[in-house]
Amino acid sequence: MDYPGNLFVVSAPSGTGKSSLVKALLELDSRLVVSISHTTRGPRGQEQEGREYLFIDEPKFRQMIERGDFFEWAEVHGNLYGTSRHAIEERIKGGEDVVLEIDWQGALQIKKIFPNAVLIFILPPSYDELLQRLHRRGEDSPDVIEVRMKNAREEVAQAQFFDYVVVNALFETALFDLKAIVHAQRLKYAAQRRNKSLVFRALNLV
Ligand code: 5GP
């Protein structure tokens, strides 16, 4: 499947700064849209229905799995999360660049369906720093932090299956790296042929 839009998939262990980086990237690049996932977990803090997630209960989620509504879904930290077909298919067919912020299991499922998807893994600079960030964030109890740190070691081991790796030691540097990946993807031959069709035609390129 070769669609005119690009699909960027960003994964990282919790506390790495993935959401802040993706948010900053979207603010800088109006051609990127983020896909809103479905989840069975309840809203946290200021989260709003349809903005961070589409919040649904487990029976409804299971129904959607059975209907084949999801491109991918996974259980993460005891809750179910999924990317619906509706969230991305029409958009990339229409030439939009879509960002998915999902866990590594979902990312690898997406790569099977869309081999052209660009998989980006964000790493923390060290486990010590990750631990400090989770404490600073102040969202999780010590028990939850312990579970997240244990999961982080397993998640980090998946980075080798991704196309790109960004180390979030310094926010601005990591953001620059993300922008570079998006930019490079848009310079690929197939993309340039679509976007610079007049130049290509003038140069008799197919
Ligand atoms: P949180 O509950 O902290 O928002 O998200 C927990 C984890 O689930 C994060 O790693 C997040 O990226 C991941 N996640 C969010 N949406 C999806 C999704 O649609 N599919 C998958 N596989 N993971 C998701």
pLDDT digits (tens, 9 = 90+) for 118-176: 999 999 999 999 999 999 988 888 998 999 999 999 999 999 999 999 999 999 999 99
Q: Which of 76, 83, 145, 158 to mutate to test the pocket of ligand 1 (most atoms within 8 A of CB)?
A: 76
Q: Residue 40 Cα, ligand 1 centroid: separation in angstroms?
A: 11
What is the residue with the minimal CA distance to atom 23 of ligand 1?
102
Q: How confident is the model at residue 87 (pLDDT cuts 50, 70, 90)?
A: confident
* Ligand 1 pocket, residue 103 CB under 6 Å: yes
Q: How confident is the model at residue 1 (pLDDT cuts 50, 70, 90)?
A: low
SS3 22: helix
pLDDT of residue 3: 85
Integer angstrom CA distances of residue 118 from 33, 76, 78, 131, 138: 15, 21, 27, 28, 32
Q: Who wins on pLDDT, 164 or 1?
A: 164
Cα–Cα distance between 195 and 192 in angstroms, integer?
5
Read off the pLDDT of residues 33-70 as tens digits, 9 standing for 90 and up: 999 999 999 998 889 999 999 999 999 999 999 999 99
**Domains in the chain: ranges and CATH:** 7-35+97-202 (3.40.50.300)
Cα–Cα distance between 163 and 9 in angstroms, integer?
10
pLDDT of residue 173: 98
- pTM confidence score: 0.95
Instruction: Please state the rounded mean pLDDT for residues 61-81.
Output: 95
Which two tokens mark 60? 């409804």
